[in-house]
Chains A and B, each alone.
Chain A
Amino acid sequence: MIINLKNQSDKYYTELARAIGVLECKGQLTPGEASCLLDVLDLVAVQRDYEFHRVLDGFLKADYGPEMHEIDEIVKATLTGVTLKSAEERNQVMAVIEDLTREKNRIGKQMQGGKDEYLAGRESHPGIPGSLEDQ
């Protein structure tokens, strides 16, 4: 019997890669998507490309819900459309993702600002249905 002595991060790596492979088998990921995710996994977990990890992490944290679907799709198309193994292409992709993250944050903040203004407007305009003064 083989005794498993691998550390936790290696286990996560294997399990993630396995999950990607299985999802592709089931048809829940396209071959292109699976291949891209496996590349990302190798870059982050094996090659320890912390810069790439930081950029992706930044993008994922900029989560403002389904309104940003279009930007998410652009990032996905960008990631699946390049060879992540090439440092040059990877740098270009990182620059694009960082731009899009900034854009996402800008729009997201505007949306939040809009909501605040909307709520503030309801507070300061008695008579508007649902305004705080009505309650």
Chain B
Amino acid sequence: MLQKISDEILVDLESERRVLSGMLNSEEARIEAYDALKEEDFYYPLHRLVFSLICQLYKRDVKPTFAELLKEAQTLNLFRQQQEISELAYIAEHFIEGENISYWLARVKDRSRLRKFESLLRRYHQMIRENQHSVEEMLMGAEEELTNLTALENDNQVDSPVQLAHLGYQEVERRYLRFKEIKEVNKGIVPLDGLPTGFESLNNVTLGYKPGDLIILGAQTGHGKTAFALHTAKAVTIEHKANMLYLNTEMSRVQIALRWGSILSQVEHEKIRSGDLTTREFSEVLQAYSRLSNSGFYSYPCPNLTPEKIVSIARKFKAQHDIKMLILDYVGRMDKMTPNYAEWQVLEQIVKTQKMLAQNLNLAVMCLVQLNEDGTLQGARRMKNECDLMLKLIPVSREELEEKEQLRKFKDVNYRLVVDKNRDGRSGIDIMIHFDKTRQVMRDAVLASL
């Protein structure tokens, strides 16, 4: 008979309390714990309940103070015993500022895995005693369960040949049906796989920005990085009605708000900035803001942004607003995590973090980077390796317009969007764009023959 293992080894109530008190008192802790733990990782039923309540409040963007927790419990008719309320108070008041939440999280997680392991051993011990299963069957079963226990949360998806074949079949079937739909229903217009890009020609090339994609957009200073970002935001949050988080390291809240006024109303940005508007223009700008207020655009201007901060904020907005895309405007202005790193090392580090973020949170992440004067990008090769789509926004000079026949096919082209890398489709192509700087709006260039 297996002896009972001491609870001290399998259970760590102190760490559970630490995590919960951390969640009540610190947003950082909430973000970490919400992402890393599940209800069943807590041993004590009351702790499970508290964790679940804090997560519910957090998802609704309610700060889970002790008072809010009690109110939530009251609404759900929970914690009806004085003893339970006192235990809650005990958790709430034992938070120590500055404690390393990751340490306590790891302890809770480890004990949870240990309990699962112990339960697995007990089950197989029982099976051996019953003597009704073949050795092969038991060993194979135990091996599979043990593999699941040891695998890390995010990397535990190992596809068997059957699963992979099934996935492939489903994907091809979906694409086959979509192609038929393009021909029959949509009359040639390609339905997107991801979020709209804001340019029809780029939609055709990429099929949209897909969850897990890292998109890098490079442009020189003053050549439309933010305009491109907000153009994308318009397509995603206003026209497509999806939620997005926009992180800006350079501009103030007021500057971003004024840009939107111009983009959505088509009134010149300079007129909006100076206030020199006709009554009609003023009314158009006001209407534009009502569109913005009904959109899914969440803006976070933050001059001292670090990669860790981006991860925290992105997790928070994913949980609370189910964002589908994140735009980082722009990478060059972010604080260095390691001050003695060279510029290219910092960029590489940031881009790698963003790619992981895109995959882990299943959202499209767009990073804006600055191009050198000659149109090259520092650390370009490394960035290119990490990203799924690399775009460069390059102005078209008058000489180029006169020289290149391809450009003369368009009426009003003044910028080229170079698709430098496209993991899911054609690359090395140029998309012709018209960028109206006075109104901060972009669109596909119009063909001269139309």
A positions within 8 Å CB-CB of B = 1-6, 10-11, 13-15, 17-18, 20-22, 24-26, 31, 34-35, 38-39, 41-42, 46
Secondary structure class of chain B's binding surface, majority of residues: helix
Further contacts, 6 of them, CB under 8 A, given A22-B82, A31-B74: A2-B17, A11-B93, A15-B89, A21-B88, A22-B85, A41-B67
B contact residues around A13 at 8 Å (CB) = 66
- B118 within 8 A of partner (CB): no
In the complex, what distance in Å separates the CA atom of A13 from the CA atom of B66?
Answer: 9
Most buried by B among A14, A24, A34: A14
Most buried by B among A1, A6, A11: A6
Contact B65 A42, beta carbon cutoff 8 Å: yes
Contact B93 A6, beta carbon cutoff 8 Å: yes
Size bracket, chain B contacts: 20 to 34
Closest to B94 in A: A2
Q: Min CB distance, B192 to chain A, in Å?
A: 39
B contact residues around A6 at 8 Å (CB) = 93-96
A contact residues around B279 at 8 Å (CB) = none
Contact B74 A2, beta carbon cutoff 8 Å: no
B contact residues around A11 at 8 Å (CB) = 93
User: Given B18, B85, B94, which contacts A25 in the complex, CB threshold below 8 Å?
Assistant: B85
User: Given B67, B88, B89, B96, which contacts A42 in the complex, CB threshold below 8 Å?
Assistant: B67
User: Given A1, A14, A39, which contacts B66 in the complex, CB threshold below 8 Å?
Assistant: A14
In the complex, what distance in Å separates the CA atom of A42 from the CA atom of B63?
Answer: 10
Q: Min CB distance, B94 to chain A, in Å?
A: 5
**Chain A to chain B contacts (Cβ below 8 Å), 9 pairs:** A2-B94, A5-B97, A6-B94, A10-B93, A18-B89, A20-B67, A21-B74, A25-B85, A34-B71
A contact residues around B63 at 8 Å (CB) = 46
Q: Min CB distance, A8 to chain B, in Å?
A: 11
Closest to A11 in B: B93
User: Given A1, A4, A17, which contacts B67 in the complex, CB threshold below 8 Å?
Assistant: A17
Q: Min CB distance, B266 to chain A, in Å?
A: 33
